[in-house]
């Protein structure tokens, strides 16, 4: 698929944003959430019998969309992204 110059600029910016913001944020969240998955983390939150409350975190799902996929979605569903740009 051929991209316009504007979309090419978007891809460059998105990739920069992914490297400088998205990936570091994801890594920080993963560090925190990995502990939250462990029952030991919640030991201080025990019920009267001394049994640890199970972790409220059951599963962690994360995803950073590939820049090309973002552009493809924008092209497929422009009405979702053009709101407020009139």
Q: Domain limits of the chain?
A: 5-80
- Cβ atoms 54, 39 nearer than 8 A: yes
Residue-level pLDDT at 8: 81
- Cβ atoms 59, 2 nearer than 8 A: no
Residue-level pLDDT at 53: 60
Give the percent of the chain with pLDDT over 90: 10
Cα–Cα dist 34/24, whole Å: 15
User: Sorting pLDDT into bands at 50, 70 and 90, what band is 63?
Assistant: confident
User: Sorting pLDDT into bands at 50, 70 and 90, what band is 79?
Assistant: confident
pTM for the full model? 0.52
Cα–Cα dist 9/29, whole Å: 29
- Cβ atoms 57, 36 nearer than 8 A: yes
What is the pLDDT averaged over residues 44-53?
A: 61
Residue-level pLDDT at 86: 44
């Amino acid at each position: 698929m051929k991209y316009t110059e504007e979309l090419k600029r978007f891809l460059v910016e998105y990739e920069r944003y992914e490297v400088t913001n998205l990936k570091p944020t994801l890594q920080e969240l993963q560090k925190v959430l990995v502990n939250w998955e462990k029952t030991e983390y919640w030991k201080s939150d025990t019920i009267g019998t001394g049994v640890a409350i199970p972790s409220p975190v059951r599963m962690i799902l994360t995803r950073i969309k590939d820049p090309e996929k973002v552009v493809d979605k924008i092209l497929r569903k422009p009405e979702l992204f053009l709101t407020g740009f009139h």
